[in-house]
Amino acid sequence: MAELTISPAAVLSGADADFYQGISGDTVTAGKTMYLDSLSNRLRLADANGSLDSAEVVGVALHAASPEQPLRVQTRGTLTLGIAAGVGTSTVYIVGGTPGGIAPVADKAPGWYCSLVGVGNAQAGVYLNLFPSHTLA
Amino acid sequence: MPAIAITPASVVAGADADFFQGYAGATITAGMAVYEDAQDHKLRGADCDGGARAANVKGIALHGSSDGQPLRIQIAGTLAIGGTTVAGAPYALGATAGVITNAADVLTGSFYTAIGVGAPNNRLKLAIAPSGQVVP
């Protein structure tokens, strides 16, 4: 398997979603995993093999944003990613090795900090349950 | 003068900005003037020749968004609009969805909606006022 290929326009939060509102520090599209850069207080693309900080996912982007623009991320609950993403039902997903990517846990490679994103559902989405383990594979 | 040519990635709210948080009802890019649809409460591109409802500007989009996604808009304060503005010049809603144009360019038969006044460094001081009045 590979990282999910998400069509940004298909990303929709569910009725049970929780949110965090911040400011983007990167060019972001909907469906990207984000971490909060503590130095700049900006949301940036999460990355499993960047650093422990960049793997500390805080949410998934719900729309597009450029640096210094507002960014709303979903922190918990049901998130639709679209049919094209090819989400596997009951597949466990983690932060991927590409900035902002979401990968199946089977893709975990040495050097990745394992940060759980959620579990795939049968409605072309995931149930978000973010957990940055800080554990290096 | 023509409509402001906006580079969406350069649209940034000022420190004195006031916001409204809603949902997009269409594909929106940063810098578009949007109105709130009274039926589904979604935010769509405003338009001065699309009727009084479409000219009832709520604010200016601060990022890109697709139908059903969250959209944060600025409703007051200073805004780097991502295009060239003339300090002191009045700006109004244009005839293409979401477009901001020089106030003098609003054509006869269109609904006049003030957006704001140009400020130094290509910014706009927002003063959104949907008049509901048709330009004679």
Mean pLDDT of B84-93: 97
A62 domain residue, yes or no: yes
- Domain assignment present for A3: no
b (16+ CB within 10 A) / e for B56-68: bbbbbbbbbbbeb
CATH code for position A113:
2.40.300
| pLDDT score recorded for residue B6 | 97
Looking at residue B2, its pLDDT comes to 81
Residue A116 lies inside a defined structural domain of this protein:
yes
ipTM exceeds 0.90: yes
Window 35-74 of A: residues touching B by CB (8 A cutoff) are 62-72
> Each residue of A9-49: pLDDT tens digit?
999 999 999 999 999 999 999 999 999 999 999 999 999 99
| Distance (Å) of CA A82 to CA A11, A102, B6, B97 | 6, 14, 30, 27
Q: How much of chain B exceeds pLDDT 90, in percent?
A: 99
Residue B15 C-alpha, separation from nearest chain A C-alpha, in angstroms: 12
Q: pLDDT tens-digit profile of A71-109? A: 999 999 999 999 999 999 999 999 999 999 999 999 999
* pTM tops 0.90: yes
Give the residue on B whose Cα is nearest the Cα of A15.
B68
Which residues of B fall within a CB distance of 8 Å from A9?
A: 27, 66-67
Model confidence at B88: pLDDT above 60: yes
Please determine, for residue B1, whether its predicted confidence score (pLDDT) is greater than 70. Answer: no
- According to DSSP, residue A119 is labeled E
Query: Does a structural domain hold residue A53?
Result: yes
Which of B11, B24, B63 is opposite residue A71, by nearest beta carbon? B63
Domain assignment of residue A2, yes or no: no
**pLDDT (mean) for B62-82:** 98
Question: How many structural domains comprise chain A?
Answer: 1
Interface with A, mutate which of B69, B78, B123 (most A CBs under 10 A): B69
User: In which domain, by residue range, is A115 found?
Assistant: 8-136
- In sequence order, what are the residues at sequence separation of 6 or more whose Cβ sits closer than 8 angstroms to the Cβ of residue A69? A23, A24, B11, B12, B13, B30, B62, B63
Let me know if residue A81 belongs to a domain: yes
Residue A1 has pLDDT above 90, yes or no: no
User: Which CATH number is B8-134's, of 1.10.150, 2.40.300, 2.60.120, 3.40.50?
Assistant: 2.40.300
